[in-house]
Structure 1
């Protein structure tokens, strides 16, 4: 099956050498503007490291409804979590809290997984309807973004009022959508207006209602979800060179499942609200040409209300679990152009400060079958809350050593962080340490241009991740089975990331080929520190476990991309990714890697419509930690989607998994036990339809 992808890539590569006319519709990747490479706007071709970009046009064309579907056709990036559930991205085998999410300059909430590895709190609490662009910078990015950027960063940019207005006085749009993967219906509305000479404002609202994402045989328990998202922005022109942007960003998602009324019910509510003020000026001074300052507050609150029948069948537990996190942050980013002899410098520098306050309340009320309260108690969470502060100072110099030939990107960041556990009487007897450490994160990138169209790129970057509070302060267990104790001596994880590759951007074709390696030192994992006698003389010994810096982990592989316009109407876009990850101490494969995978998209574009056929495939996965872990078979799926522009109307439609293929992506079962996992539960939906319509007034 995967040979089909290889053959298709070879055919596309053959076209690379063939002459073809330039398509006016071709938006070259080299002209895409990104901010993830230097924290200021620059062309993608001027970034030494690998950056994937998903634009609003791709989100609309491919009928994406969340992070999962927005990154379906991207190299080096996989997703976890289904539509309507917690989601997160994995970059070249590294994910979770080892990747930073930045939305409009603000850091997002932490992720949190259960002991079985399933995601409880994700990072995708946003709506893609208002997204202008998503950038994914792969490899360590701590030299610019500090802690958690050990594996990469996701930078999400939403539209400002000026993006909607585009020089007009008003803008209004309504949208309707349907996605058959979860029978989701959506309704959106956008309005923007130039309210005065000095102010433009916009509001964008989206409502979604859907059901569970079923497996192929549709045997999973049902649930319903709803989400409401709103972004209100107001731009104030203070002078010809200065502006102020005020933002209110709200997202709420509710998950409702009733398996057996009164004895097995779950209601999850995730709410995220952010307030931000951002000041920009291009009034040049001796210290800067441009200045960007931001102040923000984000508040994330997850409440999970569960009803569960007790083991004896004579009582019912009403469990109220929470995960709460507030983030206060400030940003200051400045840049300055300097010339020293024949060498040009673009210096970017600044300071970040972030303060996290995290809590995980849990309350359990036990009632008899008549509804009378038997016991009501505050339940001990797996870890207490924590207060964390992070201060970072960074500097990057983009140096043009030889104009149009040789560019050097050199960066360095200093970070200081402090973390303290919240006092909680529930944890008497547990020893929680205070963390106070610092880190230096350098970066060095090189771009050598053979000519205007072909570049050699190389980059080294160092990353770090502070010990996460949910691991450092883990303190819980089952007396007869295990106990996890906190660790006051955890050290930060650090990574050394290397990239080497070629990038070509021509009039009607472009390509990239990248080899990468990332080595993570002091990787945090669980370790058995001792065995203790069980609660009774006949009980088995109880393992006492602790999260420790236990390993060095290496990820390496390659990525290739090729896009070719065969003529003014037909384009081919392909990508291939291979990642290998191993624990260097045990020589076991890491469960977070993905098998060899790739895609090919063929698109026909006319004046006001286009149609795309897409094939995505993955090789069978046998590189698992040990023989007790799940493996998966290879698979391939075909999607077809089209768009039609009628002026004020825009119509999009698609058929996904056209051939009704039954398959299981390895990412959905990674690390699970072979003996207790039913692969049928993790198969993906069969054939489904999606459509959307937008009308602009």
Structure 2
């Protein structure tokens, strides 16, 4: 996978890393152009524009130029040089899944595109590996920036931001117009990591008051490469499963300046992706399945209208409002051949039969939302204020389903029953989740603006109501329940500008995540194997308390930061096996019952450093290190979602800020995995590694830019812990090279702007 190129940023590369911070004790001559770029503006940390080096939190920025130079094929590549971010891949079939920030992942990290939440991540688990719906990040060529906020952010964003926020911003007409009345862009990119070929095209134009944009991207690819050598059809196969993939994406925008102080923006975004996979690496948990293949199809559509008003004088400095609708659908189809199996086509029990089994899974979400926000700055005596307040409303409809058809070729029997379940069925009932959040915060500036104290508070109310769903009732054997609750999420942060270049900051933040549809109402029965899952209407929201301190140095040629954090999570929701039959939630007639419950107390603490030094006008060195230690305090076991110490570094040569010429030598590494919770399985523990990438870019004339990359320059064989633990790879599993990263690959891209 092509690695992200932090070194491709300007001297302000880590300018945008308001990461917690300790200063670098270096000084160097001033290059005025670089100094001006230090005033990077971010939005996610405070929900309004703020200088990145003046926020009391840890946030990083990836801009369009760096993304274009890095040529990532998925989120794993996009964040490869951020050592505190991990995006595990399902190497068997589905690829990159959910984003992990400092050991917290899945639906505990909020992801947004232009302020609209991406659909939930869903994984049903199981050895058949059929029921997964990834969040599918937006098309990278449409992005102008990505902001990542670390740690709980519920005081501004509510539920699902308990681990952090990833905010994607798509391009506007002005980004293609380049100061002209019209502009266009075309691009081609080939990536050797998955033999992927991308074509992009965009056009924008208009008048001073009305402007429009349309972009299109198409990509075809194959299986992600690794360094395995066994291409047999077996549990020991280590070469990739053959795969063909294709995606299409569209982005349209209209921007209308109603008056010089009022703006309307209408946006439409579409993305669809499909793949077909021959699953030649067999599952040891399904010994009667000698062959399987499948397809995945995903589609997401969003339409949004936002309004901004900046009155010259009056009660408010700025008022923004937005309405949106988004719908996503994921479908998975899997075909299995089951040989020497029972008459019921079991995947584990033996017999004289051969069966063809068709399995289907779908997951659909529709979101309709509205938000309103107002900002106002004013003075009371010697204290300056900037008050931000607003309301967020979102209504989400979720629906999941599984279906199975078995054809026993030995007896000729066709059935809609498998493993004691009758299909089609729903593992949770279709229903709505309604969330309303009201928030306010006040930035109080004291001591002539050198000290900023920011209290904030948000109240969220959520309610979950299921529909009458007979497909669910037949499967769960229990009636679906409703759930409603509310929560207050306070925050207090402080920032002290100790000198012109050094500031120190601290924040104490509360976070929360409401239980979702599956955790409250998820249920099924498998009478053949004697187990099932029961709903739980008594789940409480997950809570967190996070304390973080940092010190940041921002000079003309040196930027450096260090952050220390301690995050404590309570009422973590986990699926537990009940003590049956004494527990009243046990399902009658089954040996085992599982249920989501508030069980764990989790603590994650650690430290991070980032820095950049413009050692000469054309040369820059940068680096980052992240350490985290996680423990499930419920059982005093290590938290497997926390990665070992990781680091990145780069040397960049770039005579000018324009698109070339330039080159970067990048290094990334990690220590060996030593702490794992082996309660369920004894994990395969990857060793430490160090990997080098080489990247270069040139600009030809005024329009064309060429980018080249050699990834894993020295053909290093290594594993990422996220891939291993997400799949559950045991120490005794055959063919562990299946989970290795790609060896040496070459990528190239060209962009022409008109």
In structure 2, the partner of 1:4 is none
- 1:319 CA drift (Å): 2.4
User: Among 604, 607, 621, which residue is 2:673 paired with?
Assistant: 621
In structure 2, the partner of 1:630 is 684
SS at structure 1 position matched to 2:185: strand
User: Among 288, 291, 299, which residue is 2:316 paired with?
Assistant: 288
SS at structure 1 position matched to 2:259: coil
- Does the C-alpha gap of structure 1 residues 675 and 422 become closer, same or farther in structure 2, counting only changes over 3 Å? farther
Are residue 474 (structure 1) and residue 522 (structure 2) matched? yes
Equivalence map 1:67-82=2 (5 Å): 67-81=75-89
In structure 2, the partner of 1:46 is 54
In structure 1, the partner of 2:216 is 205
Determine if contact 2:331/2:362 at 8 Å carries over to the other structure.
yes
- Does the C-alpha gap of structure 1 residues 133 and 620 become closer, same or farther in structure 2, counting only changes over 3 Å? same
- 1:381 CA drift (Å): 3.4
User: Among 590, 612, 628, which residue is 2:664 paired with?
Assistant: 612
Are residue 192 (structure 1) and residue 184 (structure 2) matched? no
Are residue 122 (structure 1) and residue 134 (structure 2) matched? yes
- 1:670 CA drift (Å): 1.7
- 1:166 CA drift (Å): 3.2
Are residue 362 (structure 1) and residue 372 (structure 2) matched? no
User: Among 160, 177, 180, which residue is 1:168 paired with?
Assistant: 180
- 1:481 CA drift (Å): 4.6
TM score, norm. by length of structure 1:
0.93
Pick which of 600-609 and 339-348 moved more.
600-609
User: Among 483, 498, 508, which residue is 2:557 paired with?
Assistant: 508
- 1:681 CA drift (Å): 1.6
Are residue 666 (structure 1) and residue 674 (structure 2) matched? no
Equivalence map 1:374-453=2 (5 Å): 374-376=414-416, 378-426=423-471, 427-428=473-474, 429-453=477-501
State the distance in 2 between where 1:233 and 1:371 align: 58
SS at structure 2 position matched to 1:668: helix
- 1:75 CA drift (Å): 3.5
SS at structure 2 position matched to 1:213: coil
- 1:678 CA drift (Å): 4.3
Determine if contact 1:359/1:385 at 8 Å carries over to the other structure.
yes
Pick which of 157-166 and 169-178 moved more.
157-166
- 1:489 CA drift (Å): 0.6
- 1:449 CA drift (Å): 0.9
- Does the C-alpha gap of structure 1 residues 255 and 27 become closer, same or farther in structure 2, counting only changes over 3 Å? farther
Are residue 693 (structure 1) and residue 745 (structure 2) matched? no
- 1:286 CA drift (Å): 4.2
State the distance in 2 between where 1:161 and 1:268 align: 33
- 1:267 CA drift (Å): 1.1
Are residue 151 (structure 1) and residue 171 (structure 2) matched? no
- 1:532 CA drift (Å): 5.2
- 1:353 CA drift (Å): 0.2
Equivalence map 1:332-347=2 (5 Å): 332-347=372-387
Determine if contact 1:66/1:127 at 8 Å carries over to the other structure.
no
In structure 1, the partner of 2:332 is 304
State the distance in 2 between where 1:687 and 1:567 align: 31
State the distance in 2 between where 1:27 and 1:178 align: 35
Pick which of 330-339 and 465-474 moved more.
465-474
User: Among 65, 73, 95, which residue is 1:65 paired with?
Assistant: 73
- Unaligned 5+ segments in structure 2 are 1-13, 15-20, 230-238, 281-288, 342-352, 417-421, 583-588
- Does the C-alpha gap of structure 1 residues 26 and 80 become closer, same or farther in structure 2, counting only changes over 3 Å? farther
- 1:541 CA drift (Å): 8.1
- Unaligned 5+ segments in structure 1 are 1-11, 534-539
State the distance in 1 between where 2:64 and 2:328 align: 26
User: Among 673, 685, 710, which residue is 1:655 paired with?
Assistant: 710
User: Among 529, 533, 548, which residue is 1:484 paired with?
Assistant: 533
Higher relative contact order (CA 8 A, sep 6+): 2
In structure 1, the partner of 2:622 is 573
- 1:386 CA drift (Å): 2.8
State the distance in 2 between where 1:524 and 1:208 align: 38
- 1:30 CA drift (Å): 4.1
State the distance in 2 between where 1:350 and 1:541 align: 49
SS at structure 2 position matched to 1:162: helix
State the distance in 2 between where 1:193 and 1:464 align: 43
Determine if contact 1:24/1:568 at 8 Å carries over to the other structure.
no
In structure 2, the partner of 1:536 is none
State the distance in 2 between where 1:432 and 1:302 align: 24
In structure 2, the partner of 1:7 is none
State the distance in 1 between where 2:519 and 2:733 align: 26
State the distance in 2 between where 1:484 and 1:678 align: 33
State the distance in 2 between where 1:200 and 1:651 align: 29
Determine if contact 1:447/1:456 at 8 Å carries over to the other structure.
yes
In structure 2, the partner of 1:214 is 225
Determine if contact 2:290/2:338 at 8 Å carries over to the other structure.
no
Give me the CA root mean square deviation: 2.5
- 1:126 CA drift (Å): 1.4
State the distance in 1 between where 2:731 and 2:518 align: 27
- 1:470 CA drift (Å): 1.7
Give CA-to-partner distance per residue, 1:606-627, whole Å, 9 cap, x none.
2431110011000001110137
- Does the C-alpha gap of structure 1 residues 116 and 30 become closer, same or farther in structure 2, counting only changes over 3 Å? farther
- Does the C-alpha gap of structure 1 residues 28 and 91 become closer, same or farther in structure 2, counting only changes over 3 Å? farther
Are residue 455 (structure 1) and residue 535 (structure 2) matched? no
- Does the C-alpha gap of structure 1 residues 139 and 363 become closer, same or farther in structure 2, counting only changes over 3 Å? same
State the distance in 1 between where 2:310 and 2:111 align: 27
Are residue 248 (structure 1) and residue 268 (structure 2) matched? yes
State the distance in 1 between where 2:456 and 2:178 align: 35
- 1:259 CA drift (Å): 5.1
State the distance in 2 between where 1:154 and 1:495 align: 19
In structure 1, the partner of 2:305 is 277
- 1:403 CA drift (Å): 2.3
State the distance in 1 between where 2:683 and 2:33 align: 47
- 1:79 CA drift (Å): 1.1
User: Among 76, 80, 105, which residue is 2:115 paired with?
Assistant: 105
- 1:121 CA drift (Å): 1.8
State the distance in 1 between where 2:37 and 2:553 align: 10
In structure 1, the partner of 2:283 is none
In structure 1, the partner of 2:5 is none
State the distance in 2 between where 1:29 and 1:492 align: 42
In structure 2, the partner of 1:537 is none
TM score, norm. by length of structure 2:
0.86
In structure 1, the partner of 2:344 is none
Are residue 680 (structure 1) and residue 737 (structure 2) matched? yes
State the distance in 2 between where 1:634 and 1:75 align: 14
